[in-house]
Amino acid sequence: MNGIILKEDEPFEKALRRFTKTCERAGILSDIKKYRHYEKPSEERKRKMNASRRKKVRDEKRFSFRAPRYFN
Protein backbone atom coordinates (compact mmCIF):
# COMPACT_ATOMS: atom_id res chain seq x y z
CA MET A 1 0.00 0.00 0.00
CA ASN A 2 1.45 3.33 -1.02
CA GLY A 3 1.25 6.31 1.21
CA ILE A 4 3.10 9.42 2.23
CA ILE A 5 3.71 11.11 5.53
CA LEU A 6 2.59 14.72 5.55
CA LYS A 7 5.28 17.19 6.53
CA GLU A 8 4.53 20.02 8.88
CA ASP A 9 2.93 23.01 7.10
CA GLU A 10 3.01 21.22 3.73
CA PRO A 11 0.44 22.42 1.19
CA PHE A 12 -2.12 19.88 0.01
CA GLU A 13 -1.12 20.28 -3.66
CA LYS A 14 2.51 19.43 -2.93
CA ALA A 15 1.50 16.36 -0.88
CA LEU A 16 -0.83 15.22 -3.65
CA ARG A 17 1.99 15.61 -6.19
CA ARG A 18 4.30 13.49 -4.01
CA PHE A 19 1.60 10.83 -3.64
CA THR A 20 0.99 10.61 -7.40
CA LYS A 21 4.76 10.29 -7.96
CA THR A 22 4.98 7.36 -5.52
CA CYS A 23 2.03 5.68 -7.22
CA GLU A 24 3.65 6.21 -10.62
CA ARG A 25 6.94 4.71 -9.45
CA ALA A 26 5.13 1.70 -8.00
CA GLY A 27 3.32 1.08 -11.30
CA ILE A 28 -0.17 1.34 -9.87
CA LEU A 29 -1.52 3.61 -12.62
CA SER A 30 -0.29 1.33 -15.40
CA ASP A 31 -1.98 -1.66 -13.72
CA ILE A 32 -5.25 0.24 -13.45
CA LYS A 33 -5.11 1.20 -17.12
CA LYS A 34 -4.25 -2.36 -18.12
CA TYR A 35 -7.27 -3.87 -16.35
CA ARG A 36 -9.73 -1.10 -17.20
CA HIS A 37 -11.19 -3.09 -20.12
CA TYR A 38 -11.43 -6.81 -20.75
CA GLU A 39 -8.92 -8.06 -23.27
CA LYS A 40 -9.62 -11.26 -25.13
CA PRO A 41 -6.85 -13.87 -24.97
CA SER A 42 -6.26 -13.57 -28.72
CA GLU A 43 -5.86 -9.78 -28.41
CA GLU A 44 -3.46 -10.25 -25.51
CA ARG A 45 -1.34 -12.66 -27.59
CA LYS A 46 -1.28 -10.17 -30.49
CA ARG A 47 -0.28 -7.32 -28.19
CA LYS A 48 2.52 -9.35 -26.60
CA MET A 49 3.73 -10.61 -29.99
CA ASN A 50 3.87 -7.06 -31.38
CA ALA A 51 5.69 -5.85 -28.28
CA SER A 52 8.28 -8.59 -28.61
CA ARG A 53 8.76 -7.74 -32.29
CA ARG A 54 9.30 -4.07 -31.46
CA LYS A 55 11.75 -5.02 -28.72
CA LYS A 56 13.64 -7.36 -31.05
CA VAL A 57 13.97 -4.69 -33.75
CA ARG A 58 15.06 -2.10 -31.18
CA ASP A 59 17.69 -4.46 -29.74
CA GLU A 60 18.97 -5.35 -33.21
CA LYS A 61 19.40 -1.67 -34.01
CA ARG A 62 21.11 -1.02 -30.72
CA PHE A 63 23.58 -3.91 -30.88
CA SER A 64 24.23 -4.12 -34.60
CA PHE A 65 27.89 -3.91 -35.55
CA ARG A 66 28.88 -1.07 -37.82
CA ALA A 67 32.23 -1.29 -39.53
CA PRO A 68 34.31 1.89 -39.53
CA ARG A 69 34.45 3.81 -42.81
CA TYR A 70 38.10 3.06 -43.49
CA PHE A 71 37.30 -0.67 -43.95
CA ASN A 72 35.01 0.00 -46.91
Tens digits of per-residue pLDDT, 23-47?
Answer: 888 888 888 888 888 889 999 999 9
Nearest to 26, CA basis, from 2, 5, 50, 46: 2
pLDDT, position 41: 94
Task: Specify the pLDDT at position 72.
Answer: 55
Q: Is 40 left (phi over 0), alpha (psi -120 to 50) or beta?
A: beta
Looking at per-residue confidence, does 43 or 60 come out higher? Answer: 43
DSSP alpha helix (H) spans, 1-72: 12-26, 28-34, 41-63
- pLDDT tens digits along 1-23: 678 899 899 999 999 999 999 98
pLDDT of residue 60: 84
Indicate the pTM of the whole model: 0.46
